[in-house]
């Protein structure tokens, strides 16, 4: 009972923290996620009420757990949907996901309207007349399938989100929602454990399954609290990005567009002369403002003139710049990581080897790729090439 209460309290607290966090970033998404986690907390309180016999004092709360089973899955899906959607608005059609909840509520109206004493006696009679585990599993099977379907749909939306990011940014790592993917995997693991518990320990307390749920609460909290704003753009940019992500509205708008040669020349000028790709925070809306065009027009231009998305288009020039710097002796003091920063990439700092602020690698020399490219540059420019003995030789000598 103590473990169940602790587990429920952990999910309650995590839901509260996410609701507060929604005041700062990802407002609607974090609120839906908070609702789903609060629901999981109520489900954990179900076991605590049974083992402590507290359902006798709070019988109507016991029925609340039946309703929560139809709140958690759609709430989680809607949270993911709003995390990956730049449109910050709430749509009433999202309430259609809770039709099963409404039907269950109508079924439970007679019991909810019963007196506490009569309801407590009914619950106690059900607990005494235990049904076989196979029957309990079959009754819960539709609920388990619902959880599995919504988890699968949520994961597919996250996978699609990674492809969408490449349409608007050249550095999608910050908004990739990897933490949410890990969170879904944790919830999937909890679903597997819950399925096992329903089948074999439906009327019994099992400490190890409760410990799995408790551990899952802290893992979810670790990932959820590290999140940042997924789409840190102004409202007009968000509307344009949302339209780009929506294939139907996208095709309707591009039917009447034609490739603009002047716009293409301006884009190549920004890339070739001003090297706008060196900006690590470059995004499609930011580049469109510098060109003086709409986000839709720029995306259309890159897709149809170059046959690439924004991520591929920008990072191609960054790779070329990296190769140039690797072959330039003026930048020979920089390691691969520093070269990446100089070229506009915004990579994560590697765990090994440890890099110093001046660009050198602590305790070693630059990578083999850089050395081989430097040798190629030296040979093509007739510069002395260092030998393994520490001296120098000229090509052909």
**CB 291, CB 267: distance < 8 Å:** yes
123, 259: one domain: no
Does some domain include residue 185?
yes
Say what the pLDDT of residue 313 is.
Answer: 92
Read off the CATH number of the domain in which 299 is found.
1.10.10.60
Q: How many folded domains does the chain comprise?
A: 2
Q: Clarify whether residues 299 and 249 are in a common domain.
A: yes
H/E segment holding residue 393:
strand 392-393
Q: Are 259 and 305 in contact (CB under 8 A)?
A: yes
The answer to whether residues 337 and 306 touch, using CB atoms and an 8 Å cutoff, is no
**Is 41 within a domain?**
yes
pLDDT for 172 equals 83
pTM for this prediction:
0.76
**pLDDT at 259 (0 to 100):** 59
Which residue in 172, 160, 161 sits closest to 311, CA to CA? 172
Distances (CA, A) of 344 to 270, 323, 337: 14, 13, 11
Indicate if 219 and 241 belong to the same structural domain. Answer: no
Q: Over its length of 397 residues, how does the chain's per-residue pLDDT go in tens digits?
A: 677 788 888 999 999 999 998 888 888 999 999 999 999 988 888 777 776 776 677 777 777 888 898 999 999 999 999 999 887 777 888 899 999 999 989 988 888 888 888 888 877 777 676 666 666 677 788 888 999 999 999 999 999 998 888 888 888 877 888 889 988 998 998 888 888 877 776 555 567 778 888 888 888 888 888 888 888 888 888 888 888 887 655 444 444 445 578 888 899 999 988 899 999 889 999 999 998 888 888 888 898 888 899 999 999 999 999 999 988 888 888 888 888 888 888 755 433 333 333 333 333 334 444 445 444 544 544 444 343 333 333 333 3
Assess if residue 375 is contained within a domain: no
Range of the domain at 107: 2-224
- State whether 73 and 217 are in the same domain: yes
Instruction: Report in angstroms the alpha-carbon separations of 159 from 42, 162, 378.
Output: 30, 5, 44
C-alpha dihedral, 155 to 158 to 159 to 164, nearest 10°: 160
Same domain, yes or no, for 205 and 245? no
Distance of CA 317 to the CA centre of its chain: 27
Structural domain contains residue 349: yes
pLDDT of residue 7: 87
Task: Specify whether 243 is located in the same domain as 220.
Answer: no
Per-residue pLDDT, 184: 92
């Amino acid at each position: 009972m103590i473990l169940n209460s602790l587990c429920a309290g952990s999910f309650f607290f995590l839901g509260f923290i996410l609701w507060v966090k929604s005041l700062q970033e990802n407002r609607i998404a974090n609120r839906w996620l908070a609702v789903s986690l609060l629901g999981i907390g109520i489900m954990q309180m179900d076991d605590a009420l049974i083992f402590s016999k507290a359902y006798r004092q709070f019988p109507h709360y016991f029925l609340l757990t039946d309703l929560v089973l139809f709140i958690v899955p759609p709430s989680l899906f809607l949270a993911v949907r709003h995390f990956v959607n730049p449109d910050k608005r709430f749509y009433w059609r999202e309430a259609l996901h809770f039709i099963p909840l409404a039907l269950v509520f109508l079924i439970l109206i007679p019991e909810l309207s019963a007196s506490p004493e009569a309801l407590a006696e009914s619950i106690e009679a059900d607990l005494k007349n235990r049904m076989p585990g196979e029957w309990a599993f079959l009754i819960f099977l539709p609920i388990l399938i619902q959880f599995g379907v919504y988890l699968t749909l949520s994961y597919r939306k996250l996978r699609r989100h990674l492809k969408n990011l490449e349409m608007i940014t050249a550095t999608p790592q910050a908004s990739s929602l990897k933490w949410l993917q890990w969170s879904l995997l944790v919830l999937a693991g909890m679903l597997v454990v819950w399925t096992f518990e329903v089948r074999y320990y439906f009327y019994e307390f099992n400490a190890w399954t409760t410990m799995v749920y408790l551990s899952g609460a802290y893992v979810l909290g670790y990932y959820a609290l590290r999140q940042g704003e997924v789409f840190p753009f102004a409202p007009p940019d968000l509307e344009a990005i949302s339209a780009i992500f929506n294939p139907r509205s996208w095709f309707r708008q591009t039917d009447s567009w034609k490739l603009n040669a002047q716009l293409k020349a301006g884009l190549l000028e920004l890339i070739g002369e001003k090297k706008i790709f060196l900006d690590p925070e470059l995004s499609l809306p930011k580049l469109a403002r510098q060109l003086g065009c709409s986000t839709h027009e720029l995306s259309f231009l890159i897709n149809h003139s170059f046959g690439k998305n924004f991520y591929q288009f920008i990072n191609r020039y960054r790779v070329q710049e990296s190769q140039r710097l690797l072959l330039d002796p003026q930048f020979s003091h920089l390691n691969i990581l520093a070269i990446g920063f100089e070229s506009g990439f915004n990579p994560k700092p590697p765990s090994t080897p440890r890099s110093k602020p001046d660009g050198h690698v602590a305790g070693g020399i630059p990578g083999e790729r850089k050395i081989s490219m430097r040798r190629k540059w030296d040979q093509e420019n007739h510069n002395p090439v260092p030998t393994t003995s520490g001296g120098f030789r000229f090509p052909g000598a």
